[in-house]
């Protein structure tokens, strides 16, 4: 089956085919025909199964090839990075139409986003906070929205956006088409659907033999020591067939520290966390998506909704908070029909929390095997070449690799190198001077007009 068989117009099909997207995924096969009729939907499918085009293509087709200016469709997402990616996907799909897509999110100036809205953008993709700000300032009119989508709805609720989402629903007309897409379906989403949707159809896509996690992700669990984690990670990153990799950490400081450590070891790593400016976050994501950096070290909140198809490995540097967080993390790999590998480190103090996750997801690994960087099973499990060490040889490092502090080139102060060494004083000239020049002369000294210095000294006497 192709997209044209689902009822998608030929110009949209051609736009997708130009990027090699020709066959729909199961969630798309089921959602697109219903969404084209204007039916309210709840789409439930695991992360990385193509939900964006499942709701995006019907919206683009509904708006027409040359829609009137002004916001007609709204897609609400939980994170800035996801807003950018969804907007890019929808821009690609509508590239043969006179349709303007704009991403609205915080961390950037209002001016550029307002200018795109004023220019007549019809499809708005944004995060709740900035959407509400612009609506309150009367910069964004949502009163003519024909279709509203809540993407990654469960993540939206986890991040505390429920009150903001309800405000956005209030800004839009009651007769709109409403679609909710989510990987999990907690009770709050069901309540949200009952309140804001009109007899929605619930589509759930899941393989009969598939458990809670995706079947195309191979999972490994290791009880690792905190002092050895960096060495273990460095060896995993040299596994056969390892492509783009996402490493999840618990804190922002830990994300920056691990990224710096890996860069110091010769790997092409970049960080993504909340303490970075929006410009730095976008630069980091662009470098990862383009392949300039093949390792992304991120906190869970910053990396929620990251949609990069060719991620081969996910490493949980720390145990996730709960089973939902575990599913979101590991769902960064094995996307778009590909396979992936997920590795989770469990510290001794995290065994209780891990036991809850293990039981909820039926992973059957309540006590992960104790693992060190030298453990033979680490090499065989992950296809790491024998003899691999935790530092890349200079000849194999990326061309743009920057040396760590321990390898910074020597240079003058101020040039970024180490401090120049002070030359030892050469006293040979003094020692070789004629003895007559060093002897005191008997000539009387010139009298000085300065009064004599009054010195008071205390002589130590032995008792």
How far separated are the first and last CA of the chain, in Å rounded? Answer: 108
- Alpha carbons within 13 A on the beta-carbon side of 105: 23
Residue 310 phi, psi dihedral angles, 5° rounding: -100, 35
Give the bridge partners for 94, in sequence order: none
> Quick check: 26 and 45 in contact, CB under 8 A?
yes
Residues 29 and 121 occupy one common structural domain: yes
Q: Which residues of the chain have pLDDT under 50?
A: 207-211, 403-425, 427-443, 458, 460-463
- Domain around 143: 3-204
- 42: phi then psi, degrees, rounded to nearest 5: -120, 110
pLDDT tens digits, 255-301? 999 999 999 999 999 999 888 888 888 899 889 988 899 999 998 76
DSSP reduced 3-state for 428: helix
Of 204, 239, 263, the one marking the end of a domain is 204
Identify whether 410 is part of a domain: no
What is the distance between the alpha carbons of residues 428 and 436, in angstroms, rounded to a whole number?
A: 17
* Residue 457 forms part of a structural domain: no
| Same domain flag for 199 and 224 | no
In a domain, 425, yes or no: no
- The verdict on 322 and 234 lying in the same domain is yes
Q: Tell how strand 73-76 and strand 123-126 pair up.
A: parallel
Answer whether residue 198 is part of any domain. Answer: yes
* 335: three-class secondary structure by DSSP: coil
Residue-level pLDDT at 395: 55
Backbone angles phi, psi at 458, to 5 degrees: -110, 120
Q: Which residues contact 204 (CB under 8 A, 6 or more apart)?
A: 44, 45
* Residues 120 and 100 sit within 8 Å (Cβ to Cβ): yes
Residue 431 lies in a domain: no
On whether residue 368 sits in a domain, the answer given is yes
Q: Does residue 452 lie in a domain region?
A: no
* Of 221, 412, 248, 409, the residue nearest 318 (C-alpha): 248
**Tell me, what CATH number does 307's domain have?**
3.40.50.300
- Per-residue pLDDT, 334: 77
pLDDT of residue 135: 96
Q: Are residues 256 and 182 in the same domain?
A: no
pLDDT at 415: 39
Helix (H/G/I), strand (E/B), else coil: 95: coil
pTM of the model: 0.67
pLDDT tens-digit profile of 328-371?
888 888 776 678 999 999 998 899 999 999 999 999 999 999 99
Q: What is the pLDDT of residue 304?
A: 64
Same domain, 311 and 191: no
Residue position matching structure tokens 């950018």: 84
**Interatomic CA distance for residues 10 and 21, integer angstroms:** 13
Same domain, yes or no: 313 and 364: yes
Number of domain units in the chain: 2
Pick from 202, 173, 175: nearest CA to 189: 202
């Amino acid at each position: 089956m192709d997209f044209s068989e689902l009822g998608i117009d030929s110009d949209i099909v051609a736009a997708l085919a130009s990027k090699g997207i020709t066959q729909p995924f199961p969630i798309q096969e089921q959602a697109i025909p219903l969404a084209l009729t204007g039916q309210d939907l709840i789409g439930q499918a695991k992360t990385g199964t193509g939900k964006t085009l499942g709701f995006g293509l019907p919206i683009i087709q509904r708006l027409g090839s040359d829609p009137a200016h002004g916001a007609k469709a709204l897609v609400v997402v939980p994170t800035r990075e996801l807003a950018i990616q969804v907007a890019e996907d929808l821009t690609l799909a509508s590239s043969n139409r006179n349709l303007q897509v704009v991403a609205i999110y915080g961390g950037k100036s209002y001016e550029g986003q307002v200018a795109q809205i004023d220019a007549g953008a019809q499809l708005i993709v944004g995060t709740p906070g900035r959407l509400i700000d612009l609506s309150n300032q009367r910069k964004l009119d949502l009163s003519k929205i024909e279709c509203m989508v809540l993407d990654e709805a469960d993540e939206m609720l986890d991040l505390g956006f429920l009150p903001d989402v309800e405000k956005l629903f209030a800004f839009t007309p009651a007769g709109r088409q409403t679609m909710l897409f989510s990987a999990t379906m907690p009770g709050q989403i069901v309540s949200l659907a009952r309140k804001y949707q009109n007899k929605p159809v619930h589509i759930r896509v899941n393989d009969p033999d598939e458990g809670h996690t995706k079947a195309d992700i191979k999972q490994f669990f290791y009880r690792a020591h905190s002092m050895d984690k960096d060495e273990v990670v460095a060896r995993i990153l040299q596994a056969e067939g390892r492509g783009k990799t996402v490493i999840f950490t618990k804190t922002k400081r830990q994300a920056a520290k691990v990224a710096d450590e890996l860069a110091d070891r010769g790997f092409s790593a970049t960080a993504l966390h909340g303490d970075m400016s929006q410009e730095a976050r976008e630069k980091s994501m662009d470098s990862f998506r383009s392949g300039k950096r093949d390792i992304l070290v991120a906190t869970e909140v910053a990396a929620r909704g990251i949609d990069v198809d060719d991620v081969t490995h996910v490493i949980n540097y720390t145990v996730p908070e709960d089973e939902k967080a575990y599913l979101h993390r590991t769902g960064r790999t094995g996307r778009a029909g590909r396979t992936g590998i997920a590795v989770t480190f469990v510290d001794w103090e995290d065994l209780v929390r891990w036991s809850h996750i293990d039981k909820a997801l039926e992973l059957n690994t309540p006590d992960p095997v104790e693992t060190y960087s030298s453990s033979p099973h680490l090499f065989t499990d992950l296809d790491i070449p024998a003899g691999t060490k935790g530092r890349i040889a200079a000849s194999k490092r990326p061309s743009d690799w920057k040396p760590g502090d321990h390898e910074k080139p020597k240079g003058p102060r101020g040039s970024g190198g180490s401090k120049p060494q002070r030359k030892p004083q050469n006293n040979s000239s003094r020692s070789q001077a004629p003895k007559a020049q060093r002897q005191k002369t008997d000539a009387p000294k010139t009298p000085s007009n300065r009064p004599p210095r009054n010195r008071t000294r205390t002589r130590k006497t032995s008792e």
